[in-house]
Amino acid sequence: MDTTPHRLWYPRPARTWLEALPVGNGRLGAMVHGGTATEELQLNEDTIWAGGPHTFDNPAALGALPEIRRLVFAGEWDAAQRLVDDAFMGVPVKQPPYQTVGSLRLAFTGAAEAGGQEDGAGRDGQVTDYRRELDLATAVHTVEYTRAGVRYRREVLASAPDQVVAVRLTADAPGAISFTASFDSPLATGSSSPDATTIELTGRGEDYGGVAGRVRFAALARAVAEGGTVDSADGRLRVRGADAVTLLVTAGTNYVDWQDLSGDPRRRATADLDGAAARPYPRLRERHVADHGALFGRADLQLPATDAATRPTDERVRAFADGGDPQLAALCFQFGRYLLIASSRPGTQPANLQGLWNDMTDPPWGCKYTININTEMNYWPAGPANLLECWQPLFALLADLRVAGARTAKDSYGARGWVAHHNVDAWRGTAPVDGAFWGMWPTGGAWLAMSLWEHYRFTGDVAALREHYPVLADAARFFLDTLVTDPTSGHLVTCPSVSPENAHHPGDGGSLCAGPTMDGQILRDLFAAVDAAGRLLDVDEDLRAEARAAARRLPPMRVGAQGQLQEWQEDWDAQAPEQHHRHVSHLYGLHPSNQITADTPALFDAARVTLEQRGDAGTGWSLGWKINFWARLGDGDRSFKLLSDQLTPERTAPNLFDLHPPFQIDGNFAATAGITEWLVQSHTDELRLLPALPGALPEGRVRGLLARGGFEVALDWSGGALTRARVLSRLGRTARVRAAVDLDVTEIPEVTEAGERAVDVRRPAPGVAEFTTREGSTYVLRPRR
């Protein structure tokens, strides 16, 4: 029985893009279809966007701001929205989209004439024993099949060390590899054959919203054959009678950064191609597997395998809600980690709405960085799932936003610091866009910036905090300048703002408001982070004092008449047009924040009521957030139900991509993060072990999860109860551990359990063990007998 938990597999080629499987190295991505008569690698390079460097800020915004605020406070929301749309929205009102390179297509000579089939079913005896799979542990995609007595094998990988997509074609008979390769693209400006073994595609990002498309790109493919012949002419690459072929694919653009397009696309692509071609395929593969494995192998979740684990992955999705396949949850966990590794590496752009993979020139929502939940959600697994390096592109984006957003803060608000609203693009547009209903939310940048403080909470890395601190500090300065006093309550509030994508009153303007609950929660976290970080770094005493004073004047969270947590300052929830809205923004305080916990019982209960009222239905990413919400409430069974609702054909594609629908990758990342919340929680500065373990997963083990405070955790459980835990202390801090049972603790002096000795453990409450750790030491925890 093949129960390898890290593989997606299928008995036929992909018939649609959502059946193809993704490979990526952070910058280059490919969707591999796995055909037998033809093969398509749909390609992406993460800096190919429409438009070009552009200032979106509306010159009329600052002058209109006082009247907008007056109208909002007066409850004249329709008039306020009209003025925002007319005078405050970015110019143009839409940001340009992320775009595809196009596709590299292979046509296998003789396959069509021989009756080769693309379904792998072996009709007419032509193609048999077909299998395609993606091994998440190695990040290698494989296709195997038999035609006319010859066994063919094709591997595809996207190497980060060598910056290429490599395709390796082999067969068990000599001279059996023959194909023609060519590029096509909706953005093409030309194709050519620069030498006898290479083809080139050139292209340009599209114009958008009156902004000229200025991204130029070059894609190259080179065949390195063993035996046979290779020739290239007029942009078509022909291989005949080879024993084996390594096909190397690269792409480069002129994008240096969001302000600089002076790069040489062909030079970048050629340098990567020449470097990769100098290495034999086994060495390329070895370097790739080692690089990927160094990240992927840090964490693992093992759940019992059943017969269901032998089925093709799409069949497992269709049957998951029926039960009996716990291992699919482990595959889901690891698939999210795989996608983050493949779409977000140091030096690349951050993972966008589709991570890295997009086959369109005008994809849904522009495939941008939507920062009213989606981009933040993409990075929820980075800390707990032990992928800290994958956070770096987001931090680089934040450094850019500090610069771009300072212009918006000054020109649109007359404020210090920086601001970003609900969407950001490759050109670091920070003005509100898309219209007042969506875009008039000034708190997106502040939420995104909290990832910098989360990084410190997981790592204790003071040097990184010092580097990142100016982003946090300037985010706070913006709000210290722009918060205004609510004339009704006397609290300091954001105005104008919205509770993301929701409305409190029917009508065109019923979304605009002052001080929605989520804004207060985010700013409470931001001001606290700036205060704590400044104290650690011994800087900005005056700013810290301002932040503390402002935090005291923010509106409190309130419980409404229905027992729910109010989404707005006023108890408008019952009259809101969408009672089951996909966004549950005001529960930010429950997750990812720690403002709502069992230690705030009234708010904790109100959060539960809110989730019950909203219901379990929702888009794929919304279900992902709810997985985390219910885990924070300690209800693992309800959380598992939400994962089951997500892992259905309506919300999960055959290739496991999360569906809004359409495809949005954030739900994949949220599911991975939610599974970590079942097993280890650390948001309250203690390690909670198995705090929300679903009843459907009574047996299992996990290793490599990270917890705030600098701890790495491994757990074993059986019969739904913890049997053993290992806690590695990276920083030598005090560990406070909470579990359903009292725990004995022993220290492992070296790397074995030989010579274990007792640890001085304090037990301040039932199920709580507190002990001082030493940096680099590992501790074993077992239920007390």
User: How many percent of the chain have pLDDT more than 70?
Assistant: 96
In this structure, is the dihedral angle defined by the CA atoms of residues 17, 22, 23 and 26, taken in order, positive or negative? Answer: positive
Q: Is the pLDDT of residue 749 over 80?
A: no
Q: Among residues 636, 476, 650, 475, which one has the least CA distance to residue 549?
A: 476
Q: Which two tokens stand for residue 494?
A: 């954001």
With contact defined as beta carbons under 8 Å apart, do 36 and 145 qualify? yes
Band (303; pLDDT cuts 50, 70, 90): very high
Name the DSSP class of 573.
G
- All domains of the chain in start order, with CATH: 7-49+97-297 (2.70.98.50), 700-783 (2.60.40.1180)
Both tokens assigned to 361:
């020139």
Amino acid identity at 311: R
Among 416, 480, 412, 399, smallest CA distance to 440 is for 412
pLDDT in tens, 452-471: 999 999 999 999 999 999 99
- In whole angstroms, what is the distance from residue 471 CA to residue 477 CA? 10
**pLDDT of 227 above 60:** yes
Rounded to whole angstroms, what are the CA distances from 686 to 403, 419, 738, 739, 771?
Answer: 36, 33, 7, 10, 11
Place of tokens 């279900």: 623
How far apart CA 550 and CA 591 sit, in angstroms, is 23
DSSP H/E element including 385: none
Taking the alpha carbons at both ends of the chain, their separation in whole angstroms is 38
Tell which residue, 617, 672, 665, 625, has the closest CA to residue 645: 617
Please give the Cα distance from 499 to 407 (Å, whole number). Answer: 24
Q: Give me the half-sphere count of Cα atoms (radius 13 Å) on the Cβ side of residue 579.
A: 8
pLDDT (tens digit, 9 = 90+) per residue, 515-537? 999 999 999 999 999 999 999 99
- 385-403 confidence digits (pLDDT tens): 999 999 999 999 999 999 9
**Which residues face 238 on adjacent strands?**
180, 231
Res 325 pLDDT > 80: yes
Q: Find out whether 511 and 442 touch, Cβ atoms under 8 Å.
A: no
Asked if 236 and 181 count as a contact pair (C-beta separation under 8 A), the reply is: yes
Q: What is the pLDDT of residue 554?
A: 98
Write down the pTM of the prediction: 0.97
Alpha-carbon distances, residue 8 vs 11, 119, 309, 317, 442 (angstroms): 11, 17, 10, 11, 41
Rg (CA), the chain: 27
Beta strands in 149-297 (DSSP E): 150-159, 164-171, 177-184, 188-195, 198-204, 216-226, 229-233, 236-242, 244-253
Span 182-208, average pLDDT: 97
Q: Which residues contact 234 (CB under 8 A, 6 or more apart)?
A: 191, 192, 193
Distance of CA 155 to the CA centre of its chain: 26
Q: How many residues appear in the chain?
A: 785
- How far apart are the C-alpha atoms of 726 and 714, rounded to whole Å? 5
Q: DSSP string covering 108-147, please?
A: ETTTTTTT--SSSS-GGGSEEEEEEEEETTTTEEEEEEEE
**pLDDT level of residue 121 (50, 70, 90 thresholds):** very low
Tell me what pLDDT residue 507 has: 75
Query: Tokens 């953005």 identify what position?
Result: 187
> How many helices (H) and strands (E) are present in the chain, helices listed first?
17, 32
* Structure tokens that stand for 364 in this block: 């849904």
Question: Which of 429, 405, 432 minimizes the C-alpha distance to 419?
Answer: 405
The chain-wide mean pLDDT, for the chain, equals: 95
Q: Say which DSSP state 340 is in.
A: H
Q: Give Cβ neighbours of residue 753 (< 8 Å, ≥ 6 apart).
A: 746, 780
